């Protein structure tokens, strides 16, 4: 399951960079301006945003691959990255309903579901947990 989520995020990263590249090229070729902003600055900002968001998705995909290889829950940084990625997909999913349509919303919710599934499927490691049952009196027994 973590493998599937990683592959989907890698494909999404490529798609995000491609869409941002198309938008940047259109803004640059049309010499569009928004509220007096420089078109070349808007184009550069779109390229940078696509690259940063694509790199973020690749980072989360790498965390998912590491999780799959180790067959253990990700550490604190990995869990934080997965949670932020899930939140981003939830917010973007709600925005895409109105802007793109229900199919884009469904895709975003599938990715959100895959990320959440990875978060809850692996039991987090407990620091200092013994391999056997804890020593001591059983619950509810009176001390001797």
Cα–Cα dist 31/26, whole Å? 8
| 94-104 pLDDT, tens digit each | 999 988 899 99
What percent of the chain has a predicted confidence (pLDDT) above 90?
62
In the 8-state DSSP scheme, what is residue 118?
Answer: H
Query: Which residue, 25, 18, 22, 95, is CA-closest to 57?
Result: 18
| 15-67 pLDDT, tens digit each | 999 999 999 999 888 877 778 888 888 889 999 999 999 999 999 999 999 99
Write down the pLDDT at residue 44: 92
Q: Which value, to the nearest 10 degrees, does the dihedral of the CA atoms of residues 98, 104, 105, 109 take?
A: -160
- The pTM of this model reads 0.79
């Amino acid at each position: 399951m973590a493998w599937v989520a990683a592959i989907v995020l890698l494909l999404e990263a490529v798609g995000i960079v491609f869409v941002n590249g198309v938008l940047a090229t259109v803004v640059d070729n049309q010499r569009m301006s928004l509220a007096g902003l420089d078109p070349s600055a808007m184009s550069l900002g779109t390229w940078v945003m696509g690259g940063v968001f694509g790199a973020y998705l690749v980072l989360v995909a790498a965390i998912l691959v590491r999780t799959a290889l180790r067959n253990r829950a990700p550490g604190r940084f990995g869990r934080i990255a997965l949670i932020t990625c899930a939140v981003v997909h939830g917010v973007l999913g709600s925005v895409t309903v109105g802007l793109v349509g229900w199919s884009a919303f469904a895709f975003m919710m599938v990715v959100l579901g895959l990320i959440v599934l990875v978060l809850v499927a692996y039991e987090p490691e407990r620091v200092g947990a013994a391999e056997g049952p804890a020593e001591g009196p059983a619950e509810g027994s009176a001390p001797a």
